[in-house]
Amino acid sequence: MTELKVLLTRDQIQRRVAELGAEITRDFAGQSIILVGVLKGSAVFLADLARQIKLDATFDFIGISSYGNRPHPTQELKNGWDSTGEVKLTKDVDQTMKDKNVIVVEDILDTGLTLTVLKKLLLAHQPKTLKIAALLDKPSRRKLPLQGDYVGFTIPDEFVVGYGLDYAERYRNLSDICVIPRNSS
Ligand code: 5GP
């Protein structure tokens, strides 16, 4: 049985998400925004964050996955996941982002590869502004120089699940964010 350790409780998460929502509301006062969720991990965060933003807002979703030999989840957990740098788009946004205020909503900022690619892709739409909201940030893992504009929590280099984040597609429905120890079976 996989052992899970709570890293961030549902109360801590809800409080921080409310603060991020208030910050976004202040920054874009009087304007409209598009929240672009990165599938699938950001779905829970987006749902909560959106309800803390008191602005005219629409949703869109984008899907991206890594090419090549991503290890089996057990190996990924033991050895970490070092991307080869190649990603493919599995779902594009549905609407044009031209001249819009776009906020990309991501579960976790790790090496920075995913968001570097997404930023480039979305900048091609010529948005008015492009910001990144990431619930979690693991700066010690960064390979590309990228920062979130709205970051929930900075965490150590641990493999986390819950609140949308998965391990082999499981645990997304946990309300707390938990660590799976790297030596777990
Ligand atoms: P990056 O491209 O920044 O390296 O990776 C971002 C993606 O890697 C996240 O959207 C997420 O899918 C995955 N990821 C990175 N760290 C973790 C983690 O600790 N737990 C889970 N479940 N996914 C992670």
**Using a 6 Å CB cutoff, which residues line ligand 1?**
41, 83, 106-114, 159-161, 165-167
For 6, phi then psi, to 5°, come to: -70, 130
Angle, in degrees to the nearest 10, between helices 10-27 and 43-50 = 60
Taking the CA atoms of residue 179, residue 172, residue 15 and residue 107 in that order, the dihedral angle to the nearest 10 degrees is 80
Above pLDDT 70, what percent of the chain? 88
Could you write out the DSSP letters of every residue in 47-101? Answer: HHHHTT--SEEEEEEEEEEE-S-PPPHHHHHHH-----S-EEEEE--SS--TT-E
Above pLDDT 90, what percent of the chain? 80
- Catalytic, out of 60, 107, 110, 137: 110
- Give the atom of ligand 1 at the shortest distance from the alpha carbon of 114: 2
Query: How confident is the model over 14-21, as a mean pLDDT?
Result: 98
Q: How many residues does the chain have?
A: 185
- Give the atom of ligand 1 at the shortest distance from the alpha carbon of 158: 19
Half-sphere exposure (Cβ direction) of 114: Cα atoms closer than 13 Å? 27
Which of 38, 78, 81, 110 to probe ligand 1 with, by most ligand atoms within 8 A of CB?
Answer: 110
Reply yes or no on whether 92 is catalytic.
no
Could you write out the DSSP letters of every residue in 7-29? Answer: EE-HHHHHHHHHHHHHHHHHHTT
Q: Is 74 within 8 Å of 94 (Cβ atoms)?
A: no
Spelled out in words, what is the top-level CATH class assigned to the domain 11-66+82-157?
alpha beta
The residue with greater pLDDT, 141 or 101, is: 101
Query: Scanning the structure block, which residue is given the tokens 């893992």?
Result: 141
Q: Tokens representing 105?
A: 């909503």
Q: What is the residue-averaged pLDDT of the chain? A: 91
User: Nearest residue CA, atom 8 of ligand 1?
Assistant: 110
Q: Whole-structure pTM over 0.85, yes or no? A: yes
- How many A from CA of 99 to the centre of ligand 1? 29
Q: Tokens representing 22?
A: 């208030």
The residue with greater pLDDT, 184 or 25, is: 25
- How many A from CA of 179 to the centre of ligand 1? 13
Per-residue pLDDT at 105: 98
Query: How confident is the model over 1-15, as a mean pLDDT?
Result: 93
Query: Scanning the structure block, which residue is given the tokens 């929240």?
Result: 35
Whole-number Å distance between alpha carbons of 166 and 164:
6
Q: Tokens representing 40?
A: 């699938």
User: Nearest residue CA, atom 12 of ligand 1?
Assistant: 41
- Give the atom of ligand 1 at the shortest distance from the alpha carbon of 165: 22
User: Pairing state of beta strands 150-154 and 129-137?
Assistant: parallel
pLDDT in tens, 65-98: 876 555 666 666 666 655 556 788 999 999 999 9
The residue with greater pLDDT, 62 or 2, is: 62
pLDDT band at 130 (very low <50, low <70, confident <90, very high): very high
